[in-house]
Structure 1
Amino acid sequence: MPSEKKSGYRKNFSLILTFISLMLVLFVLSLLLAYRFSTKFIENEFVSEKVNVLEQSIEPYNDFFQKKLPEVSYYNGYLDSATASRFVDTVLLEYPFVSKVIFYDSEVRNTPVSDGLNTGKFSFGPKSIYQFGSFVPQDSVELFTIANTHNFVVGDDFNALAIKLASYIASLDTSSTPAQDELFSNFSNVRSNKITYLNIPRIEDLKTYKRMMRKDLKPQPVYQQDMLSFHLDPYKIKITNTRPRLYQYIKIEPLTYDPLDTSSSYFTTEITLPGPFSDYKLYFISSRSFVDKEILSYFWPIALAILVFYSIVVLVAFLIYRNLNINQKMFKLQYDFMNNLTHEFKTPVSVIKIAGNNIRSATGLTDRELKLYGKILDEEADKLNGLMNKLLAFTQIENKAIQLNRDQINMEDFIESTVESHTLKHPDFKFSYEVSGFNSFITDPVLLGSLFDNLVENAYKYSPADRKNLHISARLIKGKVVFRFTDQGIGIPASEINNIFKKFFRIQNQYNQNGSVGLGLAFCKELVNFMNGEITVKSKVNKGTEFKIVLPYTD
């Protein structure tokens, strides 16, 4: 049996060690894969998230281009320098990337102009030109008037949009209404760091402009047009870093910018700015250590999830193993129980059969022999009856099939009766007892007697021949009856203390060689629980054991 147990232990230990090693390898491998995935993910994010940074950073420009510029058309060409100045002030306040605005107060005529565009009978030129900006001196606001040109050349901004206007009017289909997007794109001109915008005329005015190209109209009409050229500074764009833990530095650089340090200790990426800022780019740079922090912040939750997963797997495996182990132990306990129970029944039955055969085969028996055989039959019958009663009582108590009787007993008389019956049965058993704090209390005498009998029998069975001593004390302590059964027996190993009250459990020692059902102490535990008490044990190997029982006191 010890070799089988040792072999089983070795097999289980090897299986557990193999399983733990496999789980550890898979766990480490999972962490490595998770870290690699986190690294690739963050590196891809470093490249892709720049689009979001660009969209957020140029959102003010998009608002300016799509909402603010069209407001020029609301004035229908009748902007003057004062109104234009107030309009520009709001632009400079709301959009810091606008550095300067040049305002062309212009006219469309049916007669030639000296400055501007003349195509056919269609002429387009400025009456006056003003510039506005935070750093524009007061004496240089007016750049040009028909009366005084200030030697100012109208320049490409005006001429480029004038040509674009003339081309559009020449190709205009007057039988249909042009779309707003078509009008907007033909009345604006986007160049590097500059947007020039001309207010959009009414469709009737556009039709008149088309006729003006072909012939003189009477009376010769004059139409007011407002053109504004917005000078933009890309370095004034406010960069919105939507991923501050990913991008350490973001700056605006020319497209030709090429960093000197291209070592692997830095991550870099770039994206070109749109529209009038297309000669510039957003340049992103982060040190590897900075990006590693973001990688770890992404990796740790994954690692925690992996840890939880493998913990659950190990816990499930442990529970399965424990359940199988418990089932195996229960099977062994039940197997031992059946063997021991068979032995317990077989021994008195065999003795009864032998005594019966001797009586039947004997030709004549003396009175002494008859008394001897009668005593044997009576004792063995008592053993069978006691065993059956214990099994029946155990089952009834477990299933709550009996009721707790409440009778008043005298404690000293009760202990004396127990001592006398076991002294007659075991003359070599030495008893001592004491009762203090009370004389009588109400309890179930039958169940208490069974409890006493089992503990006394245990003390006798597991004590050496020269130390078969038992001291019983009964005391009233803080409203509880406390019984102590103290022997000088072989004791109980500390490793077995927690198992002795389990059903079918038996400690392997020389005193159990003849078999034991393993129900005695389990029966005591059930009895105490049924009587609303508690039972504990203290023991030292080769010194002795003390069972302590605490029951509620009622007198």
Structure 2
Amino acid sequence: MAAEKSFYRKNFALIVIFLLLVTVSLVIAWLLAYSLIKRNVENDFSSAKIDVQEEVVQPYNDFFQNRIPEISFYQGYLDSSSVAKYIDTAFTRYAFVSKVIFYDTQVSNHKIKDGLRVNKFAIGPKVVMQFKRNTKPVVLFTSTHPHTLSLKLADEFNKIAIKFSAYIESADTTKVLSNDDIFNTFYAITPNRITYMNIPRREEIRIYKDLMLKEMPFSAVYEQDVLTFYIDPLKLRIKNPHPELYQNISIRPLVYEELNNNPEFISTDIPLPGALADYKLYFSSLHSYLNKEINRRFLPVAFMILLIYSFLLGIAYLIYRNLNINSKLFKLQYDFINNLTHEFKTPVSVIKIAGNNIRSSKQLSDKERAHYGKILDEEADKLNDLMNKLLSFTQIENRSIKLKEEEINLEVFTQNIIDAYQIKHPQFDISFDIDEDITYFKSDPVLLSSVFTNLIDNAYKYSPPDRKMLHISIHRIKKNILFKFTDEGIGMEESELKHIFKKFYRIQSQYNQQGSVGLGLAFCKELINFMNGEITVSSKPGKGSEFIISLPDDYSL
């Protein structure tokens, strides 16, 4: 047994080491996961600002790419009324448009006093109007009052006029305008301003080129529209598609620097495009704010790691349980072999002694012959009973036998078993009672007899000499017959009750020191299960035990 215990302790130590390694791995996995997630959140803090920029500038892009080019639909024929409607719509839809300057422009080969003239090609404003929110339009210039165009307005107009004139000078009128030509010619983008000229038709471009490069009589006056939109980036609506990352988002001048040196503070920025280029989106968060997102992402990962850890713990538990079961089974088998050896050795020794006595005696009297014959017969019966019990138990476990049911008169059956036992043990007080309505019971008499014999043997063996008493009660409960075996023996602890029907299990007490294989109650349990019944036990130490067997009464008469 010492070797077995040592072996078991070594395995237990391995399990403990395994658990420690798994636990350390769990902690390391958590730390690595947390570190990676923290780094991922910090990277997202730096990279997700592009998503915010796209959301914030989306109205600006819509205005720039879709709304402004609509001016070309008017083909230069915007007047004060139609341009006012167009600009009012822009003011309504785009809060960042703060002011619009409208240049009602004329193109010809006439002499002009305000504008730009290249060779014979002349382009200049006829009327300049200013539109602001919630105020009436203001006329800033008319060609009827020459030389009154301010330098600021003239400068903005001349930027687009020079780009347009340069394009006309080298334009290929056989080709369609490319997107690059449109952007480079008809847009003038400076910080906080977008100036746009409507795109003339191809025929008009050919005429404008002739006006510039050829000697021609005075031409007709052609209309072009030029609008300058003043953009206020601070009026852009800030949308935050990543509130889990950015605690605060604001629009700041491009040169803005945060003066807060708090180490708990993290910030980043991204410049705005186009006419918004003098400003940037500024993002800031406290580390404690980002920690919430880190923890939110970490919890599912930590839970998955914990599931894996639990799975490994389950494996460790199963290994431990199997080792524990194997250890107990080893002990039970060891005890079984010892007890079985003792059970066989005792009758074999007696038989051998009796045989030696018979062989060594020159002459035996009739009394001695009868005495030795009785000894040999009894010991042979013991060996035979033990062999039969082992064989029957194996057959019952393997379901290799069949029930041989007969109609049993329970009163006669019980009385015969009691009588036979009291002949063997006259000091054993056995009584029984049976319900009057129970006469016959259909079952296998051999198996039922084995159950009775084992339970009576058990009651006799585990009862003190002065309390060797057993009462058997037989009752009908619904469709079942109940057999109660109540003794006044030593009883059992409650902790023992769940083990007593296990193979090779023996209660350690002074009453089984003479050898017990540990098969009796396990054999009873198997027999009753085989007969489709149930067996239960209740017991109190020092008071006795009660075994209750319930067997189906479907064949009772």
Give TM-score scaled by structure 2 length.
Answer: 0.91
1:437 touches 1:476 (CA, 8 Å); kept in 2? Answer: no
- Of 243-252 and 168-177, more deviation after overlay is shown by 168-177
Letter of the 1:291 counterpart: L
Distance 2:414 2:58 in 1: 97
2:15 touches 2:316 (CA, 8 Å); kept in 1? Answer: no
- C-alpha deviation, 1:117, in angstroms: 0.8
Distance 2:346 2:187 in 1: 116
- Cα gap change, 1:437/1:127 in structure 2, threshold over 3 Å: closer, same or farther? farther
- Cα gap change, 1:10/1:458 in structure 2, threshold over 3 Å: closer, same or farther? same
Task: State the match for 1:538 in structure 2.
Answer: 538
Distance 1:296 1:151 in 2: 66
Give CA-to-partner distance per residue, 1:518-554, whole Å, 9 cap, x none. Answer: 2211111111111222111222334322222222234
Task: State the match for 2:288 in structure 1.
Answer: 289
Distance 2:148 2:166 in 1: 29
Distance 1:5 1:515 in 2: 22
Distance 2:158 2:247 in 1: 44
- Of 316-325 and 271-280, more deviation after overlay is shown by 316-325
Distance 1:195 1:44 in 2: 35
- Of 520-529 and 542-551, more deviation after overlay is shown by 542-551
Give CA-to-partner distance per residue, 1:47-70, whole Å, 9 cap, x none. Answer: 221111111111111122122222
- Is the aligned partner of 1:464 residue 2:461? no
Task: State the match for 2:495 in structure 1.
Answer: 495
Give CA-to-partner distance per residue, 1:220-269, whole Å, 9 cap, x none. Answer: 24322111111111112111101112212211111233334331232222
1:470 touches 1:486 (CA, 8 Å); kept in 2? Answer: yes
Distance 1:221 1:367 in 2: 163
- Cα gap change, 1:495/1:7 in structure 2, threshold over 3 Å: closer, same or farther? farther
Give CA-to-partner distance per residue, 1:175-232, whole Å, 9 cap, x none. Answer: 6544223223321011111111111223343333233222332462432211111111
Q: Percent identity?
A: 54
Task: State the match for 2:143 in structure 1.
Answer: 146
Give CA-to-partner distance per residue, 1:106-155, whole Å, 9 cap, x none. Answer: 122122321111111111111222333423x32x4433322256944242
Letter of the 1:474 counterpart: I
Distance 2:132 2:413 in 1: 114
Task: State the match for 2:421 in structure 1.
Answer: 422
* Equivalence map 1:299-318=2 (5 Å): 299-318=298-317
Letter of the 1:487 counterpart: D
- Is the aligned partner of 1:247 residue 2:246? yes
- Of 86-95 and 430-439, more deviation after overlay is shown by 430-439
Distance 2:82 2:174 in 1: 35
Task: State the match for 2:87 in structure 1.
Answer: 88
Task: State the match for 1:200 in structure 2.
Answer: 199
- Cα gap change, 1:365/1:21 in structure 2, threshold over 3 Å: closer, same or farther? same
Secondary structure in 2 matching 1:499: coil
Distance 2:515 2:59 in 1: 93
Unaligned runs of 5+ in 1: none
Letter of the 2:248 counterpart: Y
- C-alpha deviation, 1:361, in angstroms: 4.4
Secondary structure in 2 matching 1:212: helix
Task: State the match for 2:211 in structure 1.
Answer: 212
Task: State the match for 1:548 in structure 2.
Answer: 548
2:8 touches 2:323 (CA, 8 Å); kept in 1? Answer: no
1:143 touches 1:150 (CA, 8 Å); kept in 2? Answer: no
1:254 touches 1:281 (CA, 8 Å); kept in 2? Answer: yes
Secondary structure in 2 matching 1:484: strand
* Equivalence map 1:332-351=2 (5 Å): 332-351=331-350
2:12 touches 2:320 (CA, 8 Å); kept in 1? Answer: no
- Of 420-429 and 493-502, more deviation after overlay is shown by 493-502
Task: State the match for 1:405 in structure 2.
Answer: 404
Distance 2:304 2:51 in 1: 29
Distance 2:228 2:288 in 1: 46
Task: State the match for 1:484 in structure 2.
Answer: 484
Task: State the match for 1:191 in structure 2.
Answer: 190
2:480 touches 2:551 (CA, 8 Å); kept in 1? Answer: yes
Secondary structure in 1 matching 2:241: coil
Give CA-to-partner distance per residue, 1:487-519, whole Å, 9 cap, x none. Answer: 233333333322221122233444443433222
Distance 1:10 1:123 in 2: 106
Secondary structure in 2 matching 1:88: helix
Distance 1:120 1:151 in 2: 24
Distance 1:437 1:221 in 2: 135
Unaligned runs of 5+ in 2: none
Letter of the 1:538 counterpart: S
1:57 touches 1:240 (CA, 8 Å); kept in 2? Answer: yes
Task: State the match for 2:54 in structure 1.
Answer: 55
* Equivalence map 1:120-269=2 (5 Å): 120-135=119-134, 137-138=135-136, 140-148=137-145, 151-153=148-150, 154-174=153-173, 176-218=175-217, 220-269=219-268
Task: State the match for 2:520 in structure 1.
Answer: 520
Distance 1:31 1:503 in 2: 46
Secondary structure in 2 matching 1:155: helix
Distance 1:444 1:161 in 2: 115
Distance 1:225 1:250 in 2: 41
1:199 touches 1:225 (CA, 8 Å); kept in 2? Answer: yes
Instruction: Number of aligned residue pairs: give it.
Output: 552
* Equivalence map 1:95-114=2 (5 Å): 95-114=94-113
Distance 1:274 1:308 in 2: 48
Letter of the 2:141 counterpart: F
Secondary structure in 2 matching 1:389: helix
